[in-house]
Structure 1
């Protein structure tokens, strides 16, 4: 427990010292991009801000974890770091292409999805080969359900879906970082409850990294996390839920990201079938600013929703 707390503190402190220099370096290299390509025109008028911010809250916690663990990793910690780092790599390639080409296209959606699904298969294979199972725990059911080979598509859906959901949410200063931090907290509690200190170390180290990031990402943001951060965070959340055997509870704990994604899906279906929009704009957080809300108020509202989801998650995990 003490090691995990120290990892959180170390990741936060190192991050706070690294970010100013990192931002200065990125600015000198011109590593800037406009806000999310899905943003309304009003947001695209913001001055360009450096991206790649997620690289720090991925790299620093991983380095801290490896050092504190004496350069040895148990199965769970290895799996989580593997997912966190590999999905960050997909995002880094995407961000790099965006910055070098000067537009928000990045790698194609098909290529990105193929990479995400491919890595989820690798994760599943390593998970099963190192003692994992195909059991799915359902809240309030005492006996888990054996999904057999059908557990693989669930893993693929969870990892790719969660990473893309956080990516959709990353559109306002402090939004994705803050809601991700909140979503990790119930799983940290459960990891401590069941004595899985490898997972606890992983979660608290990431939380420390996010605390440092939010110092520089809250409005007005000096740096964006980019896909290198959002894809990694979403995949890490899903991987933590899988390793802890709490896959279903991820839907509750990550309620903000589920809500954002559902709104986008509903909007697309409505437009395709009816040629009408249900929401003024998606991702849905932009709809509020178009209706006159201040950006900071929208972010705080989503923090509030995230906290409600967190409390519900605590209750469900306490009863597990």
Structure 2
């Protein structure tokens, strides 16, 4: 089984590596270039025009790995299909947002209500299907034997996660390679957790996503030749949220994805502080820009955040796998 997982990882990596040089020039010819907000760091203005919507590249790599390996070797199960649905579903919402931004030249893309409605529909369908089968309404506190039963509130909580996590990963996607590297680490952690729990369909999906993220990182690392756009960042968040729900690691996701939580909290703190006191806590939010404006190079910020993400992922795996064993 480990060999099958590694084969899926390698295939998704290679397919993404092959597709990227073919799709990036096409995105450039179609003028699918990134719009850079004027209120962002001045150093990022030179990135304007870099091809975006690159999420289609690694999502295709992941999908091909599933079609070739998982389905042929009967690794795919109900959970695999559900994760495929939630990741591609959020990816489609992001694709619509990117398309409006870069093709229709509406810088804000979908309105907040339109984006929320799209995400809510995907999340609701995911949870409806989940509740048709055996599922737990318990939340497990990492590293303990404590359980919290949410009863009928669990689906509401799960939908909150399904909407919140994609928006957190979307906020994190603000520097070359930052989210793609962190996502590869997160998917690796969940692959280990799924293997330990004998949830092989989830494990294969996670390893396929990890391989695709690593392949995409080759072209997304500084200086980026392509950005993933909302197509990629929302798909990543949807996949991570879905995995956490299907593996019963909803709280643990806040540990493994601790960087996403920090990024989101920095924005919330900044907004509340500015609206209530007129002062900013950070030089700029999300917090990765705070360090960049403090004199750190973009590459230093990214590598430090990767390291923090890796440490948190190791802690998360230890907490969960230690409890299983």
Whether the TM-score (by the shorter chain) exceeds 0.5 is yes
Tell me how far 1:262 sits from its aligned partner.
0.3
Tell me how far 1:141 sits from its aligned partner.
4.1
Corresponding pairs, count: 320
**Correspondence for 2:309:** 306
Structure 2 residue corresponding to 1:245, chosen from 245, 248, 252? 248
Contact 1:186-1:317 at 8 Å conserved across structures? no
**Are positions 1:296 and 2:299 aligned together?**
yes
Separation in 2, partners of 1:307, 1:275? 35
**Correspondence for 2:118:** 115
Separation in 2, partners of 1:276, 1:145? 38
Contact 2:177-2:302 at 8 Å conserved across structures? yes
TM-score under structure 1 length normalisation: 0.96
Tell me how far 1:236 sits from its aligned partner.
0.7
Q: CA RMSD in A?
A: 1.6
Query: Cα distance 1:270–1:189, how it changes in 2: closer, same or farther (>3 A)?
Result: same
Q: Summarize deviations over 1:137-192 as a string: whole Å, max 9, x none.
A: 22244353321111112111111111000100111100011111112222111111
Structure 1 residue corresponding to 2:205, chosen from 187, 202, 206? 202
Contact 1:79-1:123 at 8 Å conserved across structures? yes
Contact 1:36-1:171 at 8 Å conserved across structures? no
Structure 2 residue corresponding to 1:233, chosen from 228, 231, 236? 236
TM-score under structure 2 length normalisation: 0.94
* Runs of 4+ with deviation above 4 angstroms: none
- Structure 2 gaps of 5+ residues are none
Q: 1:79-118 residue pairs with structure 2 within 5 A? A: 79-118=82-121
Query: Cα distance 1:254–1:13, how it changes in 2: closer, same or farther (>3 A)?
Result: same
Q: Summarize deviations over 1:2-29 as a string: whole Å, max 9, x none.
A: 2221111001111111100100111111
Contact 2:70-2:204 at 8 Å conserved across structures? no
Query: Cα distance 1:36–1:117, how it changes in 2: closer, same or farther (>3 A)?
Result: farther
Separation in 2, partners of 1:163, 1:266? 19
**Correspondence for 1:8:** 9
**Are positions 1:78 and 2:116 aligned together?**
no
Query: Cα distance 1:209–1:2, how it changes in 2: closer, same or farther (>3 A)?
Result: same
Query: Any idea what SS the aligned residue of 1:248 has?
Result: coil
Tell me how far 1:69 sits from its aligned partner.
2.8
- Structure 1 gaps of 5+ residues are none
Contact 1:138-1:144 at 8 Å conserved across structures? yes
Q: Which piece of structure 1 moves more, 229-238 or 181-190?
A: 181-190
Tell me how far 1:132 sits from its aligned partner.
2.0
